[in-house]
Structure 1
Amino acid sequence: MPWQNNGGNGDRPNPWGGGGSGGRNEPPQFDDFIKKGQDQLKSAMPGGAGGVVLIVLVMIALWLASGLYRVETNEQGVVMRFGKYVDSTAPGLHWHLPYPIETVEVRGVTDEQTIEIGVRGASNRSESLMLTSDENIVDVRFNVVWRIADLGNYLFNLADPQQTVKSVAESVMRELVGKERITPIITTARGTLQSDALLEMQNILDTYESGITVLRVQIIESEAPDEVKDAFLDVQRAEADQQRLMNEAEQYRNRIIPEAKGRAQQLVNQAEAYKAEVVARATGESARFLSVYEQYVAAKDVTRKRLYLETMEEILAGMDKIVIDGDAGSGVVPYLPLDQLTKKKSEGEE
């Protein structure tokens, strides 16, 4: 038994030191109990009260030392006092007021994080379906790669950083796709979309003071939805044929127009040359006529006879000629073979 019987009355004694008699129990003396405990504690410690002080000082020193913390080169630290932001700390050894006054949050800020939007097999596939400027639907799947730039803003200005980045990325991509036609989006405009989306996302996140840096926007795939892909490919082929025919027509135009201009210029040049020739000939003929006319006025008979002879010489130049003197009489006809003389002269020159 934990408590011994006192006498034969069968009554259990008071465990607080007040033994009963005649069945009467006294209330416990709490002051005596506390005093007795203090005495026992003092007797157990070396040096009495000085030992208590030493232990208290050691405990305080350990408590203060618990405020030491290290931030690595790829991390940032955030100090919070009773849960409120106080300061951001760079890599190195630091100290803060120990718990529960201040706490510190240390996270890596160089680690890249990726958010996928519109990936195949996702439950919400509609997030990748976007409307283009020519009222077509395009399926755009892309990734956003980002990291923490300012841990303080990241922790205290965003309730859900992951969802915020995703919502901003989807909103920006929808806006950019809505300004483009579907053909460039699925062919040549991917690079432009990626760079424009990165800049626009960063601007929006900076206005939120999110403490996030967007590193890359990567378009994985952009194509027409599966339900209309075959029809769209037919349209795309028709547009390609149209563009090819337009290019061929443009090449023909570029070839035929210079040729036509060259021929036109040639005709103009020939006309100008003919004009100059006709004018020059007419001017010469006019000058010659005026010269003859002046000679005719000065000596009419001589000029008339000279013109007659020149004209006859020109008319009879290629003909066989016989000259008969009309005044020679009817008996003897003088004969002068001019054609033979001309022929002999020509043979002698040869």
Structure 2
Amino acid sequence: MPWNDNSQGPWGGGESPWGRGQKNNNNGSGGRKDPPGLDELFNEVKKRLGGGGGGSGAGGDNGLNFGNFGVRGVLLVILVLVAGWLLTGFYRVQPDEQGVVLRFGQYVNTTAPGLHYHFPYPIEEVLTPKVTTVNRTDVGQTFGDQDRGVGGRANTNESQMVTRDANIVDINFSVFWRIKDAGDYLFRIADPVVSVKAVAESVMREVIGRENLEPILTEGRQRTEEQAQNLMQAILDEYQSGIEVTQMQLQKVDPPAEVIDAFRDVEAARQDQERLRNEADAYANKVIPEARGEAEKINQEAEAYRNRVVAEAEGEAARFEKILDEYILAPGVTRERIYLETLEQVLKGNNKIILEQDGGGQQAIPFLPLDRLMRQPNNQNNGAAQ
């Protein structure tokens, strides 16, 4: 008896395990609708796949028949799926990224920006971290997203350091870094941000421990930054971290709060000293060139006077030699000429009165003050001017 032949089943009254019979809509009489058998279900599936109907009886086909779809269609679908899966292996690395290829989770190589191919997932996968973004790590002060650059919470455990002369200095500084090698960055160190901060704090403590307090507070800040940056880069390279430190910047360098007022007074006095020194240097730079210029002027004038006197003396000597030659040739004429030239030089610019020596000159008034009469108009002009 088939399993669905339960007209006299254990539920009695012709009931099935699915409940009581339902009315037949065709004839209106009461009856039961039995569930389909396994053969009927199998035949229905074969029909939907394109095969013909029929059970396990004669003329039926017990094998799986795909009908018009066929084996070729199934293979075509499989090939299309495989081709689509293989095409998912193409990937693009942006100019600000590096591609890190993993094969079954193990690092294989690093690819440059551009279009590349790898075996599709789950055989290989690619990570593309940003390598041009400059990251910032602060030590000694904790900043939030809203107050970065404005202020933060001080962390004295990180900021207070001891100098070589056994003084305590409170330092806040920032480290700017970027990814140099994405493969090393992702797989050589567990937590890059924590590692950068720990190395930066350790390096700064070492550099501060080699310096006295005064240079750190005044002119030694840039030297401290450079030394700390170089030492930190060397340590990160030794760790093969794939990180490049681009800049290390001291934000605040102060003595402890208990003595900060006294240090500020000292710093103000040092600034006044520097200002006065600069003013003195400026005055010296002004006066010294002027004095040097005046000295050079006097030297040049003296040199010119010397050259002029020497030239005049040489000229007079040459003139005397020529006169001597002429005197030897004609003594009388030369003597008279020298006498006349001497009178010309002596009487030049003086008032002169000429009287005749013959009888006509006797008629002149001997006491007539001609020289005073000639000077009188000049005296009157001077008095009028006063």
Instruction: Give the structure 2 partner of residue 116 of structure 1.
Output: 138
Mapped to 1, the partners of 2:22 and 2:229 lie a distance apart of 88
Distance 1:56 1:36, change over 3 A: farther
Listed as ranges, the gaps of 5+ residues in structure 1 are 19-27, 248-350
Give the SS at the match of 1:94: strand
Q: Does 1:177 align with 2:208?
A: yes
Q: Does 1:58 align with 2:89?
A: no
Could you tell me whether the CA contact under 8 Å between 1:172 and 1:197 is conserved in 2?
yes
Mapped to 1, the partners of 2:220 and 2:42 lie a distance apart of 84
Q: 1:86: how far off?
A: 1.2
Q: 1:46: how far off?
A: 6.0
1:194 to 210, 221, 225: 225
Instruction: Give the structure 2 partner of residue 86 of structure 1.
Output: 108
Give the SS at the match of 2:98: strand
Q: Where do residues 326-337 of structure 1 align in structure 2 (5 Å cutoff)?
A: none
Instruction: Give the structure 1 partner of residue 236 of structure 2.
Output: 205
1:173-199 Cα distance to aligned partner (Å, 9 max, x none): 011001111110010111111111111
Distance 1:41 1:35, change over 3 A: same
Q: 1:35: how far off?
A: 7.4
Distance 1:188 1:86, change over 3 A: same
Distance 1:164 1:39, change over 3 A: farther
Could you tell me whether the CA contact under 8 Å between 2:139 and 2:201 is conserved in 1?
yes
Q: Where do residues 116-195 of structure 1 align in structure 2 (5 Å cutoff)?
A: 116-119=138-141, 120-122=151-153, 124-195=155-226
Q: What do you get for the CA RMSD once the two structures are aligned?
A: 3.2
Instruction: Give the structure 2 partner of residue 49 of structure 1.
Output: 71
1:159-183 Cα distance to aligned partner (Å, 9 max, x none): 1101100110010001100111111
Give the SS at the match of 1:74: coil
Q: Where do residues 7-22 of structure 1 align in structure 2 (5 Å cutoff)?
A: 13-14=34-35, 17-18=36-37
1:108-145 Cα distance to aligned partner (Å, 9 max, x none): 21111111112353263321111111111111111111
2:119 partner letter: L
Mapped to 1, the partners of 2:42 and 2:91 lie a distance apart of 41
Mapped to 1, the partners of 2:46 and 2:209 lie a distance apart of 81
Mapped to 2, the partners of 1:214 and 1:45 lie a distance apart of 69
Mapped to 2, the partners of 1:35 and 1:87 lie a distance apart of 55
Q: 1:49: how far off?
A: 2.3
Distance 1:3 1:191, change over 3 A: farther
1:214-261 Cα distance to aligned partner (Å, 9 max, x none): 1111111211132320133356678x59x99xx9xxxxxxxxxxxxxx
Could you tell me whether the CA contact under 8 Å between 1:3 and 1:13 is conserved in 2?
no
Q: 1:34: how far off?
A: 6.2
Mapped to 1, the partners of 2:208 and 2:127 lie a distance apart of 40
Could you tell me whether the CA contact under 8 Å between 1:42 and 1:48 is conserved in 2?
no
Instruction: Give the structure 2 partner of residue 217 of structure 1.
Output: 248
2:34 partner letter: P
1:168 partner letter: V
Give the SS at the match of 1:85: strand
What is the TM-score when the length of structure 2 is the normalising length? Answer: 0.53
Distance 1:107 1:35, change over 3 A: farther
What is the TM-score when the length of structure 1 is the normalising length? Answer: 0.58
Give the SS at the match of 2:128: strand
1:186 partner letter: L
Instruction: Name the % identity.
Output: 45
Q: Does 1:40 align with 2:45?
A: no
Mapped to 2, the partners of 1:2 and 1:62 lie a distance apart of 50
1:232 to 244, 263, 266: 263
1:61 partner letter: A
Mapped to 2, the partners of 1:106 and 1:122 lie a distance apart of 34
Distance 1:42 1:189, change over 3 A: farther
Q: Where do residues 236-315 of structure 1 align in structure 2 (5 Å cutoff)?
A: none
Mapped to 2, the partners of 1:177 and 1:110 lie a distance apart of 31
Could you tell me whether the CA contact under 8 Å between 1:42 and 1:49 is conserved in 2?
no
Distance 1:107 1:237, change over 3 A: closer
1:71 partner letter: V
Mapped to 1, the partners of 2:46 and 2:229 lie a distance apart of 70
1:275-306 Cα distance to aligned partner (Å, 9 max, x none): xxxxxxxxxxxxxxxxxxxxxxxxxxxxxxxx
Could you tell me whether the CA contact under 8 Å between 1:3 and 1:12 is conserved in 2?
no
